[in-house]
């Protein structure tokens, strides 16, 4: 029997919750598939805010660490944004669903601060 290790969305996306850059946020949410440099878009600041808000709203939900989970999160972001999303967003979301497996892009390890 296959056991999935589940953790919370907030722990996987803690960098996003802690103010990650737009590029890093998109890298984590799209498993590295969405490349900011290839997409022209007029409202990156508002889109970035929606990404952070959606992660914050779902922080306590389970996350199994799969590309299919990321596809679902991208869909949540798209619905919350409520306007046309950046070019390539839907293509990447579909690709994640079709190529399900473990997330390739992992969060950076938390650094312990010595006191």
Give the pLDDT confidence of 65-76 residue by residue, as tens digits. 999 999 999 999
Confidence check: pLDDT of 46 > 90? yes
User: Given CA atoms 20, 84, 62, 96 in this order, what sign does their dihedral have?
Assistant: negative
Max Cα-Cα span within the chain: 47
pTM: 0.87
Model pLDDT for residues 93-103, shown as the tens digit of each residue: 999 999 999 99
CA angle 20, 83, 73 (to 5 degrees): 50
């Amino acid at each position: 029997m296959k056991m999935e290790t589940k953790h919370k969305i907030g722990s996987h996306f803690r960098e996003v919750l802690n103010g990650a850059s737009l590029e890093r946020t998109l890298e984590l949410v799209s498993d590295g598939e969405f490349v900011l440099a290839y997409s022209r878009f007029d409202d990156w600041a508002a889109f970035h805010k929606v990404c952070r808000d959606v992660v914050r709203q779902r922080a306590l939900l389970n996350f199994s660490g799969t590309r299919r989970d990321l596809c679902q999160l991208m869909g949540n972001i798209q619905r919350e944004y409520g306007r046309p999303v950046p070019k390539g967003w839907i293509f990447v979301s579909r690709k994640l669903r079709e190529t399900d497996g473990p997330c390739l892009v992992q969060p950076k390890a938390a650094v312990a601060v010595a006191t």
